[in-house]
Amino acid sequence: MRVFTKEELRKYDGSGGIAYIAYAGKVYDVSHSFHWKKGIHQVTHYAGCDLTDALRQAPHGADMLERFPIVGELVESEESSTKYIDKEPRL
């Protein structure tokens, strides 16, 4: 599974057609959702961000994220992302 830092996640703000959001350490692809058109949701939430705190205050639960594919996990820093171990054998 791909590992994202917050800096890397910001690249997927919807401006290039790909919109990712993070919640509770998981990164979701919301690119095809009508509600995330152009990387903006309800005029207050933006793709490319960790929305963990914001979603806790949302009128819907986190279970709505189940309809979106998980594309990775969010780590705290660049240093943490080096812990990713490729499952393919290295020659």
What pLDDT, in 10s, does the model give residues 1-27? 899 999 999 999 999 899 999 999 999
- Domain residues for 32? 2-77
Question: Looking at the domain assignment, is residue 7 inside a domain?
Answer: yes
Q: What is the pTM of this model?
A: 0.78
Which domain CATH number covers 50? 3.10.120.10
Number of domains in the chain: 1
∠ CA 52-9-33, nearest 5°, is 70
Q: Does residue 82 lie within any of the structural domains? A: no
Q: Quick check: is 89 in a domain?
A: no
pLDDT at position 24 is 93
Q: What confidence tens digit (pLDDT) does each residue in 44-76 have?
A: 777 889 988 887 776 676 878 899 999 999 998
Asked, for residue 86, whether it belongs to a domain, the answer is: no
Task: Compute the average pLDDT of residues 74-83.
Answer: 65
